[in-house]
Structure 1
């Protein structure tokens, strides 16, 4: 397993509280955002500034045409980009604090935060729009908040590389969700939560296009060529995500992995 893949496995649970736990949505609602998605787009795109929906759509990549425009820029009329991001961070940290309990204030969390932050600022920003935007936010002083913040910076770094890998493979955003769904064993792919709401005609066109390319078989499952394509995208994503961890010494990386393992395990266990 590559360093980038191992770190993804350890940091992703910390980041996912933002999208799976109630505290973040409560913070969005307290700001006046009408829906979870208003808050999501307003907060995640905050580092880009008040850009048009087309820019957010390009940076996020995986949303279907028109989805971003339902929320951006109107969500920023409810609460500013800065306020939305602050709400997202408060809710995320509150979720982590609830899940981790006494462990949240451990010196080990503070050390993990410092090492993760060193990696988070250790890579070039060239070609990394979301990563660069996330790095513009002020780094919090509180250790648990700093850990979430650094983990999220690294998530956006990896995401930028993943988008580059998808573009290089000529896989669009909705197509990427189809591949991910099938790779996770979700069948039919059209039932996947990220795309099941899309118009049936649009989904059919996406599936037909992937069949025409030989990525899917007649039943709508990954063909051998499709699995090879998916594996290649994931391998390249890992390779493009390595740079931040090169800022750490071998000893620091080993220490960080050991520190993150019980934190990630606790967060995963809380959702099982």
Structure 2
């Protein structure tokens, strides 16, 4: 069912806090590190790349994830699979995220609203076409958890990666590379690129080369901030990302979408109170 007004941005604000749990709640990293992984980035790549399987080389994961600097993925893959297995990583990640959600939500975790939200969100999350959505398709191939809190987190992760696959398409359409995407985002929120976490660790010469390339295209001005062209490019990327993220919600009738919104709002609000970013 196609809705008369776009819903993807509205739902993004509600779903994203749940999808961010593995990156902001300690329980996920702790569960993965207990498998013998060496650091938090090992845990990141093990948890997120596990749906692609052991045989996916670093070059493929780099292409799918899109926004890591050259060589960053290869520092962790395939070595993490000498320490654990994708199956164990998937189980540990789910276990840790459910524990993190339970801690964050407190008494809300076992309410009927969580079950209703999980069922509706999962129906949306498993309804979209998989063509061209590599990471989303890999997640769709996994078994669906039975426990409501696990189902909620699984559905949010599906939708987050579905949106992420579409965001990559939008970036490619604007000829914005992975590192450039971080610079574009940082400057759009009035943060100097060298202070943005995902690129702040890069050698100064490497980051300067990226910025110089964007400046030569008219995206960044001589003052180091986005030009009108840069802002317009960022807006086109976000608009296309929203448009490409609409499909899952077409599985829900308007009244179901309103019910989903009502049940997700207290969940997301509670999580955002701890992880406002």
Q: Is residue 128 of structure 1 aligned with residue 133 of structure 2?
A: yes
Q: Distance between the aligned counterparts of 1:103 and 1:36, measured in 2?
A: 28
Q: Is the 8 A contact 2:32 2:47 kept in 1?
A: no
Q: Is residue 41 of structure 1 aligned with residue 41 of structure 2?
A: no
In the TM superposition, 1:232-247 aligns within 5 A as: 232-247=236-251
Q: Is residue 146 of structure 1 aligned with residue 160 of structure 2?
A: no
Q: Distance between the aligned counterparts of 2:224 and 2:141, measured in 1?
A: 42
Deviations 1:157-216, CA, capped at 9 Å, x for gaps: 000000000011000000000011111221x21211100111111101100000000000
Q: TM-score, normalised by structure 2?
A: 0.96
Aligned-residue offset at 1:88: 1.2
Structure 1 runs, 4 residues or longer, greater than 3 Å off = none
Aligned-residue offset at 1:49: 1.2
Match of 1:259 among 231, 253, 263: 263
In the TM superposition, 1:147-166 aligns within 5 A as: 147-166=152-171
Q: TM-score, normalised by structure 1?
A: 0.98
Q: Distance between the aligned counterparts of 1:190 and 1:172, measured in 2?
A: 17
Give 3-state SS (helix, strand or coil) of 2:274's partner. Answer: helix
Pairwise CA RMSD? 0.9
Match of 1:196 among 190, 197, 200: 200
Deviations 1:13-39, CA, capped at 9 Å, x for gaps: 011111011111111211110011111
Aligned-residue offset at 1:74: 0.6
Partner of 1:270: 274
In the TM superposition, 1:1-272 aligns within 5 A as: 2-50=6-54, 51-186=56-191, 188-271=192-275
Aligned-residue offset at 1:76: 1.2
Q: Is the 8 A contact 1:43 1:82 kept in 2?
A: no
Aligned-residue offset at 1:2: 2.9
Q: Is the 8 A contact 1:49 1:81 kept in 2?
A: yes
Deviations 1:233-262, CA, capped at 9 Å, x for gaps: 000000000000001111111100110000
Q: Distance between the aligned counterparts of 1:201 and 1:269, measured in 2?
A: 38
Aligned-residue offset at 1:53: 0.2
Which structure 1 residue ranges, 5 or more long, are not aligned?
A: none
Q: Distance between the aligned counterparts of 1:137 and 1:77, measured in 2?
A: 22
Q: Distance between the aligned counterparts of 1:102 and 1:27, measured in 2?
A: 23
Give 3-state SS (helix, strand or coil) of 2:226's partner. Answer: coil
